[in-house]
Structure 1
Amino acid sequence: MPDFDVSTMLPLCVGLTLLGLIGSWFAWRRRGIAAGTRGVAWSLLPVSLYLTGLLELVWDVVHSAVSWVTHLIFSPTVWAGVALFGVSVVLYVVSGVARGRSPKAPKEKKPASPAGELTATGPAPASAAPAKAAKPSKGKAKQQESSEFDEIEDILKRHGIN
């Protein structure tokens, strides 16, 4: 693309605006005021862009984008970079799949210490204490359940929940 030239852009913009205004007049006659007004709005854009200096900015942006795309398409170095990026993504995905399938090493079990005994990590939880008592009889189990429900009912009543 050639560089931006002010001396050729002004006549080009004025010509585009005049052609657009003529087309807008015909659109107004055939399709109504809405189509004609919209045509006038589009027709005034080339001259307004030139007068505000935005036409040169638009020209530079389009010129830069086109040169970047042509460099991207025709450069073997860029395609090598794209290929390496693809390999990187594939390797990352494969590592995630392999991580999920790898066998995990079994954790060593520590011997349970009696409840209340202090260890290096703190007191052992009550669930870690060895079970010494045999199963309670059915009568004791019902009595234990009812006492638990009584406690729950008391708590609910204190909070006003019935």
Structure 2
Amino acid sequence: MLAETICAAVSAAGLGIAVITAYRKRFLAATRIAAYSLVPVGLVMTGVVEWVSDIAFKPSVWIGFGLLGVAWLLFMTTRAVERRGGGTRRERRAARAASRRAAVAPAASAPPLTSGAAAPASQAQSRPAKKQQAPPGEDFSDIEAILKKHGI
């Protein structure tokens, strides 16, 4: 009830200012002021003011907003920890398993020892030279093309 009264008073004052502005031959400004002053009455008539006042003065609504804030905070915290810790639990488990296999694999698949130092040199020559490849996720060719397109 109080909010509706305040909105009506603000609208009446705004319309009064609009009339004074129109009297001074500033019709465009007077029309704009009249439009702004009709908004509070329109909000009261549509029920928006009652809805907002119901939200603003109910403790259960504020508790709900608080719970939403806590949920958002927990979500953001878990995302930050996940990014810092190297991904999800499944990804970390796969990375540990891969590192264990890499540690065991060289000892199990070591080439037999041969007499003479010529064997490692011949093995090095028989292998083709590998090109340095970018690690996955670091292919910047599309970005370079966009920059060249824009002349940067």
Common fold, TM-score beyond 0.5? no
Q: TM-score, normalised by structure 1?
A: 0.39
RCO comparison, higher one (Cα < 8 Å, 6+): 2
Q: TM-score, normalised by structure 2?
A: 0.41
Identify the structure with the greater helix proportion: 2
- Structure with the greater alpha carbon radius of gyration: 1
